[in-house]
Amino acid sequence: MQSDRATDCSLTQQQLLMRMMDEFELTQEQLGARLCVTVRALDRWLLPPDHPDARAMPESGKAYVRDLLEEHVVDFARVAAPAPPRD
């Protein structure tokens, strides 16, 4: 699941949010709560950009999601790394 860098700036906001839900196994309600937004706001961020009800996610929100994903990748790598040999 972590083949692409989590902080890849080329991801659309929809891809970024979907990755967040995927990586953390969150529902839309849970992700909305984690981002301190309503489910309605999240729904609008998830709509295709050409949809009349679509809304752009604030840049600070995108940065926050990228940071959470990056930390998740680092934590995953730390857990998956073999333990150093003991003397």
Asked whether residue 5 is assigned to any structural domain, the reply reads: no
- The residues near 4 (Cβ < 8 Å, ≥ 6 apart) are 11
- What domain range includes position 27? 13-79
Number of separate domains in the chain: 1
pTM exceeds 0.75 for this model: no
Structure tokens at 12: 């659309």
1 in any annotated domain: no
CA–CA gap between residue 29 and residue 37 (Å, rounded): 9
Which pLDDT score, from 0 to 100, does residue 71 have? 87
32 domain residue, yes or no: yes
For residue 26, being part of any structural domain is answered with: yes
Q: What are the tens digits of pLDDT across the range 62-75?
A: 999 999 998 876 55
| Within a domain: 19 | yes
84 located within any domain: no
pLDDT tens per residue, range 20-31: 999 999 999 999
| pLDDT over 90 at 6, yes or no | no
**pLDDT tens across 30-40, in order?**
999 999 999 99
